[in-house]
Structure 1
Amino acid sequence: MIIGRESPFRRLRADLQPDQAAFLDGVRIAAEMLDVAYGRLSELLWAATQSFDDKDLAVPTAPILLDAWAIVDAVHRLRLLLDHTPGLKKSDSSYKLFIRKTKAATQFRGTIQHLNEWLQNMAANGWPVWGTIAWVAVADPQTRILHSCVLVSGRVQPGTRDMINPAGKTVVRHVDHVTLHCRDQEICLTDMRNEVETIVRAIEPSLAEHTENHPTLAADIFVRVTLRPR
């Protein structure tokens, strides 16, 4: 979980400036949205991996692409929010590293936002419109057998598609190194998720220190009203 239950992002000071509180709320929820999308994507990719052995299982192409592109969008949004967050030191090495390592998210989002402008070029090169997803899945942790998988969306076209060679890579999760290819570019969604967690962890200590011994406000209030007709 990127934003823990006790994260200072959930306990902002009551006297915080409204604009700063708004940006921090935006950062928190964007990070949580990414976390949800990545977790869901991992399970979908695991199901797709299993479908190779069970022909009754269909590969959930649209949900996979939905979550993959949601991650790209969330990272791009986080970059913008952090860049404009009042009080956040832009000279900090952790911030600079995050911006540098997540640059691809903004480039990818530009492609999908202007998809109509790229379609002729994509068609000429035989590139799938919504891209391809490649990943590594752990088949058996004991024997260290891995599956390298790729999902090519859209109409079947001639050509080669990149698969992940796990040689020399550390595999931490049951689904890892999730990579989205679109046009002639690629972005590792696993790396994006990890970079977001890293920048959140870098911000939390100073946020906690700033909040310590100060009144805080609750977050994410849910209200339900039950009505009974006469």
Structure 2
Amino acid sequence: MKWSFIIQQKFKASLLLGGIMVTIILGTVLSRNNIEGIDKSFSSIYQDRLIPATTIIYLTENLYNKRLSLEKYLFSEDHIENATIDLQLNRYNKNLDSLTTAFEKTYLIEEEARILANFRDMAEAYILLEKQIIDEHRFGDSAKAKEMFEGVGVLTFQNSLAHLNELAKIQSQVGNTLMQKSRIDFAGFEILSFLQIALAVILGLIILVLIKNSRIINKPDILKTKGQNFHLN
């Protein structure tokens, strides 16, 4: 009976210890997933939000530089060579194209992709308009060139900037969402860590209790053996 009782107790203890170990392992796996989630969120904030936000600044800068260069070409008293303005605008146009292409390679939500595509279309339309303005100016119709620059040119330029402003707002909104997700993942990691520590303490206490019970069970056997030996003497 005694050995049957001991076996039952050991079986129950094994089940309890096994359950605790499985829980600790699952907690470790979940903690690792939370850490990976935090790492992905911060990587996305840098790769897909911070870098594009910086790209928006460079896109805006190139748009303004194009506008200022063309304005100086049309209104400045200093004569600017046709080759010079062509070279300047081509350089800015190449920058815009490469920056937009880099932006497109980042992770984009549906709204971002739509606005960025509209911006590219608007930028291409603005390039064509610039060529028309320059051609009018070169062939002697400076008044019409200036009228186009200050009329439809302003509208196209402002629309291009409006698209960039919309993209900048989305960067802020999505970045804030990623930060919230990181906070949730970190809170989950803290809870799991606390649970693992608590289970480790419980596991240690169970082992101590099992060791103590094992000593208590073994003591009567030892005393009985000594009593038998004393009787034999």
| TM-score bucket (shorter structure) | 0.3 to 0.5
Structure holding more strand per residue: 1
Return the structure number with greater relative CO, CA threshold 8 A, min gap 6: 2
TM-score by length of 2: 0.41
Larger Rg: 2
TM-score by length of 1: 0.41
